């Protein structure tokens, strides 16, 4: 069949439709591996090996403090060797190289040395063609308060794998964080965690709630090292579990269809209908 001048033939239209649909698809890998505490070189090697193995993914998410291992006593005692500069440290150099080499966005937890010398529980987000972003945990768990400095921003990060809303572990517990990021354009909440043993119910309830509340995707990448509960999870905008782990070493693979986000928000437009003045400290809504 020949198309009329200025018109596309059906085959061209089908190809373009397929291209548009493919652009909305994000191939995801969520890493849950036991790693030793205090072995950053070995854990960076595990990171690189995992990225190489799953280089066909668009987005790879590792747990909280994956590089140094999560142990507050060890972090405190060995901070001189475990803490890194967010721009020039060995983990930053590595994830930049891996992201560029494989065209993949990488999210990984590390121990950051701030400019003032303090320690931060942070994430590196390396995206091909989009530079390197850093997120510092802003809502610290009580036991972390003597160890880490909190961050003071709730950013969203634009990557080829979607607009990411980074959070870390305990921040799961604050619905306002997810909503703030959703209203700023986040499509995927990435939540590297180190949730303790016997607390897997917190991962399931909070990950599903944050996703459904804000009608976006939520990824909980939790540690399964000794003392932690694993149970990493991927949830869609309806709150449905797309993939879930137990306590075993695993890499969860699934595909996120970002077109589901606007579709779900059209079906139930709750996110854009909030009245925030009513929620803050019980204040009355301002009237004009």
- State the Cα–Cα distance between residues 61 and 105, nearest whole angstrom: 8
> What Cα–Cα distance (Å) separates residue 285 from each residue in 123, 182, 278?
36, 22, 5
Instruction: Considering the candidates 64, 144, 149, 264, report the single residue annotated as catalytic.
Output: 64
The yes-or-no answer on residue 169 being catalytic is yes
Instruction: Considering the candidates 84, 169, 171, 229, report the single residue annotated as catalytic.
Output: 169
- 3-state class of 195 per DSSP? coil
Instruction: Considering the candidates 84, 137, 149, 229, report the single residue annotated as catalytic.
Output: 137
Q: Which of 203, 32, 61, 220 is nearest to 126 (CA)?
A: 61
- 3-state class of 65 per DSSP? coil
Question: In this structure, are residues 202 and 172 in contact, taking their beta carbons and an 8 Å threshold?
Answer: yes
Q: What H or E segment, with its residue span, contains residue 264?
A: helix 260-267
How much is the CA Rg of the chain, to the nearest whole Å?
20
Tokens of 35: 């790693």
- Which residue numbers are catalytic? 64, 137, 169
């Amino acid at each position: 069949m020949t198309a009329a001048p200025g018109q596309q033939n059906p085959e061209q239209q089908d190809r373009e439709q397929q291209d548009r649909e493919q652009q909305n698809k994000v191939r995801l890998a969520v890493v849950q591996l036991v790693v030793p505490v205090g072995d950053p070189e070995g854990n960076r090697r595990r990171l690189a090996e995992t990225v190489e193995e799953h280089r066909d993914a668009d987005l790879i998410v590792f747990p909280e403090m994956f590089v140094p291992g999560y142990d507050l006593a060890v972090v405190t005692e060995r901070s001189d060797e475990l803490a890194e500069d967010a721009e020039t440290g060995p983990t930053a150099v590595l994830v930049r190289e891996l992201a560029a080499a494989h065209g993949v966005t990488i999210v990984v937890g590390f121990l950051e040395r701030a400019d003032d010398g303090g320690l931060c529980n942070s994430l590196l987000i390396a995206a091909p063609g989009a530079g390197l972003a850093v997120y510092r945990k802003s809502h610290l768990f009580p036991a972390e308060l003597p160890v880490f400095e909190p961050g003071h921003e709730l950013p969203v990060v634009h990557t080829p794998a979607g607009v990411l809303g980074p959070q870390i572990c305990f921040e799961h517990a604050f619905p306002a964080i997810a909503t703030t990021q959703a209203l700023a354009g986040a499509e995927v909440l990435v939540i590297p965690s180190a949730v303790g043993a016997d607390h897997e119910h917190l991962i399931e309830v909070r990950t599903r709630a944050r996703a459904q509340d804000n009608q976006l995707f939520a990824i909980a990448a939790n540690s399964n090292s000794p003392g932690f509960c694993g149970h990493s999870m991927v949830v869609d905008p309806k709150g449905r579990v797309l993939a879930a782990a137990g306590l075993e070493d695993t890499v969860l693979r699934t595909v996120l269809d970002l077109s589901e986000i606007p579709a779900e928000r059209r079906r139930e437009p709750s996110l854009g209908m909030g009245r925030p003045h009513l929620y803050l400290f019980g204040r009355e809504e301002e009237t004009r």
